[in-house]
Amino acid sequence: MAPFNRRHVLGLGLGALSAASFIPPAAASGMGGETHGLSVFGDLKYPADFHHFDYANVAAPKGGVFSTLPTLRLNNQSFFTFNSLNAFILKGEGACGMELTFATLMARAGDEPDAVYGQVAKSVQISPDRLTYRFALRPEARFHDGSKLTAQDVAFSLTVLKEKGHPLVVTQLRDMMKAEASDDATLVVTFAEKRARDVPLYVATLPIFSKAYYATRPFDESTLEIPLGSGPYKVGKFEANRYIEYERVKDWWGVDLPISRGHFNFDVVRLEFYRDRDVAFEGFSGKNYLYREEFTSRIWATRYDFPAVKDGRVKLEVLPDESPAGAQGWFMNTRRKQFKDPRVREALILAFDFEWTNKTVMYGAYARTVSPFQNSDMVATGLPSPEELKLLEPFRDKLPQEVFGEPFLPPVSDGSGQDRNLLRKASQLLSDAGLIVKDRKRLLPDGEVFRIEFLLDEPSFQPHHAPFLKNLGTLGIEATMRMVDAVQFRARVEDFDFDITTERLTISPTPGDSMRPTFSSQAAATKGSYNLAGIADPVIDALIEKILAVNTRAELTAACRAFDRVFRAGRYWVPHWYRATHPLAYWDVFDHPKTLPRYQIENYATLVGERILWWYDAAKAAKLEQAK
């Protein structure tokens, strides 16, 4: 998921704000005066005079082509298709990778949980009350047509995103009150009094558009016109729904910034779009693209034995993943009557035999997901700690008793595919919820047959659904699958027009305001939000605000664990699986840094904080050509 923010006004006018009144507090950075970077808790790794990120190879050569499949989706983007180059609104299917074409005020460090360092902004000064941020812009920043990038462009970008951007962006900008340019080189952003701590970081990493360019074009329309960018790449050749190429800007103004050294090494980055994972694998084995992260355990276990692997032309590598795995699973749409009762939702969880599916369909490659914070220390375990209890006690009369005991865990089956004990418990839960069986059909309390449609957009998930649907049928539930194309799937999901669908929600190592568009009551009613389950719980809302208000990482961990207990008690999803590694396959024309950026490993090979780290090795490529 991925990888969100806010709004409010400071009473003073801009003319009353002097440079002397801006002093970055300790929580913003460890520096005095202006600061070169921001982090949630002020723990910056790199000093103001740092030369490059530790994990980047500053001697990496430039050149060559990097081609792969999309593995990171934001806003209106799809893994399988695109019909627009506007990836920041709700309309259309935006092309993945468009982030590469736009510069931002600051950019993430891959080896820190949340720190960002200057790109367009060379520094930022923060008012003592932390409500106003004054960004000083680099005079050398330019758009691709050579025009100067000014504070007016940044103010326009933040304002138009807040007013007309994708609902996910709008929600996360609600605590940004205004963005104004006091002159060409100075941007002043004002935030709400009770803003979440990570809002300024989100604002600092949003794309910067040209105000002049959009003076003659509507921002909120899908289009295949190439927009005017300012980033290290620009759109090159493309064919809608099939592929898009991003060409390196050879004279890019930011190439020698500390955050850029060792990055953006390929002359061309090409993304290929396939509708089917099996067909996509055939494309890779046929060298139609050069790099692949393997997400299908069946393919990884059985199909990487083609000649190019055996003779070394294709390299296989498994990299560790130390970042939170996120929440992947079947999300039940509680807006619909058949999922209103948590006992019904728990029955569905009991009906899924993960052990059989993992063994039979996924070659034992995965572990069970139990929490949205999986693979992190934010997962709740055992009895609540005193810190967790302090957060939970005010809501005791609104919460099930289990929240104050061991957190809910999905059951471990006997691995048979139809664990009779678990199915018996599921049947009893359904009966307790008033869903009786008549003529071998499970009926809802109003007498209507209990029907569930699983919405999916790729056939590779069908084998995982089939045994689950069979078990639901045993319980008297009419469960079916509906396969739709990527455009229809995204439209239906954004409209919450589904019973159950599969999604993976990515959680940040430092959860913050992105919790709102994912789990809040407001998001449950916001078209296009990540709150697929329709969670509308005042306690969840209150705990999100607690997460946003913490002052230390220890407090954050306790607050997330408290949230985790309440979320899991709601039975909003049938948890899937995860693995703490990334299986990679690539044609042997690349090389990459030996030091891995811990917090961006998921897109380590391609887009690390929107910056490319691998490089093309001409000697290897020549050897590969000779080996044909």
Are 396 and 404 in contact by the 8 Å Cβ rule? The answer is yes
Of 603, 382, 614, 613, whose CA–CA distance to 506 is shortest?
Answer: 603
Q: Which two tokens stand for residue 308?
A: 């190019």
**Domain co-membership, 488 together with 373:** yes
Interhelix angle 462-474/342-351, rounded to 10 degrees, is 120
Residue 121 has pLDDT above 50, yes or no: yes
Are 211 and 224 in contact by the 8 Å Cβ rule? The answer is no
Give every CB contact of residue 567 below 8 A, 6+ residues apart in sequence: 371, 372, 519, 535, 540
Give mean pLDDT, residues 48-60. Answer: 94
**Domain co-membership, 255 together with 343:** no
Residue 25 has pLDDT above 60, yes or no: no
- Please work out, in degrees rounded to the nearest 5, the angle formed at the alpha carbon of residue 387 by the alpha carbons of 383 and 390: 95
Interhelix angle 538-549/553-569, rounded to 10 degrees, is 170
**Domain co-membership, 455 together with 337:** yes
| Structural domain span for residue 388 | 327-578
Share of residues in the chain with pLDDT > 70 (%): 93
List residues bridging with 272 in a β-sheet: 243
| Domain assignment of residue 37, yes or no | yes
Of 254, 272, 248, 262, whose CA–CA distance to 101 is shortest?
Answer: 248
pLDDT band for 445, please (50, 70, 90 cuts): very high
CATH of the domain at 117: 3.40.190.10
Q: Where are the alpha helices (DSSP H) in 205-329?
A: 211-214, 277-285, 297-302, 307-310
Are 562 and 281 in contact by the 8 Å Cβ rule? The answer is no
| Domain assignment of residue 460, yes or no | yes
**Domain co-membership, 56 together with 177:** yes
Give every CB contact of residue 493 below 8 A, 6+ residues apart in sequence: 455, 501, 503, 532
**Domain co-membership, 552 together with 601:** no
Of 80, 61, 60, 59, whose CA–CA distance to 69 is shortest?
Answer: 80
DSSP of 600-624: GGGGSSS-BTTB---EE-HHHHHHH
**pLDDT tens by residue, 327-350:** 899 999 999 999 999 999 999 999
**Domain co-membership, 353 together with 409:** yes
**pLDDT tens by residue, 581-607:** 889 999 999 998 887 787 764 443 344
Give every CB contact of residue 530 below 8 A, 6+ residues apart in sequence: 1, 168, 503, 505, 517, 518, 523
Helix (H, G, I), strand (E, B) or coil at 383: coil
pLDDT band for 1, please (50, 70, 90 cuts): very low
Q: What is the value of pTM for the model shown?
A: 0.80
List residues bridging with 238 in a β-sheet: 244
| Domain assignment of residue 219, yes or no | no
Are 138 and 128 in contact by the 8 Å Cβ rule? The answer is no
Give every CB contact of residue 473 below 8 A, 6+ residues apart in sequence: 479
Of 34, 113, 175, whose CA–CA distance to 549 is shortest?
Answer: 175
Residue spans of beta strands (DSSP E) within 268-404: 268-272, 291-293, 314-320, 327-332, 367-368
Of 153, 181, 214, the one marking the end of a domain is 214
Give every CB contact of residue 42 below 8 A, 6+ residues apart in sequence: 25, 26, 27, 28, 29, 30
Spatial separation of the C-alpha atoms in residues 516 and 508, rounded to whole Å:
13
**pLDDT tens by residue, 372-410:** 999 999 999 999 999 999 999 999 999 999 999 999 999
Are 248 and 236 in contact by the 8 Å Cβ rule? The answer is no
pLDDT band for 323, please (50, 70, 90 cuts): confident
At 465, which amino acid appears?
H
**pLDDT tens by residue, 488-508:** 998 999 999 999 999 988 788
At 254, which amino acid appears?
G
| Domain assignment of residue 177, yes or no | yes
Give mean pLDDT, residues 159-175. Answer: 93
pLDDT of residue 628: 65
| Domain assignment of residue 479, yes or no | yes
Spatial separation of the C-alpha atoms in residues 204 and 106, rounded to whole Å:
5
Spatial separation of the C-alpha atoms in residues 565 and 406, rounded to whole Å:
9
Spatial separation of the C-alpha atoms in residues 58 and 420, rounded to whole Å:
59
Spatial separation of the C-alpha atoms in residues 418 and 440, rounded to whole Å:
18
Of 428, 383, 385, 386, whose CA–CA distance to 401 is shortest?
Answer: 383
Residue 106 has pLDDT above 90, yes or no: yes
**Domain co-membership, 298 together with 249:** yes
Residue 155's alpha-carbon distances to 146, 203, 433, 533, in angstroms, are 19, 11, 53, 35
Residue 30 has pLDDT above 70, yes or no: no
Q: Which two tokens stand for residue 10?
A: 């400071």
Of 193, 211, 187, whose CA–CA distance to 14 is shortest?
Answer: 187
**Domain co-membership, 537 together with 621:** no
Helix (H, G, I), strand (E, B) or coil at 239: strand
Q: What is the rounded average pLDDT for all residues in the chain?
A: 89
| Domain assignment of residue 1, yes or no | no
**Domain co-membership, 306 together with 410:** no
Are 507 and 113 in contact by the 8 Å Cβ rule? The answer is no
Query: How many other CB atoms sit within 10 Å of the CB of residue 538?
Result: 10
Q: Which two tokens stand for residue 165?
A: 């951007």
Are 310 and 539 in contact by the 8 Å Cβ rule? The answer is no
**Domain co-membership, 125 together with 240:** no
**Domain co-membership, 252 together with 356:** no
Are 151 and 137 in contact by the 8 Å Cβ rule? The answer is yes
The structural domain count of the chain equals 3
Helix (H, G, I), strand (E, B) or coil at 31: coil
Query: Residue 422 belongs to what H/E stretch?
Result: helix 420-432
pLDDT of residue 24: 34
| Domain assignment of residue 224, yes or no | no
**Domain co-membership, 199 together with 274:** no
CATH of the domain at 383: 3.10.105.10
Are 551 and 576 in contact by the 8 Å Cβ rule? The answer is no
| Domain assignment of residue 524, yes or no | yes
Residue 66 has pLDDT above 50, yes or no: yes
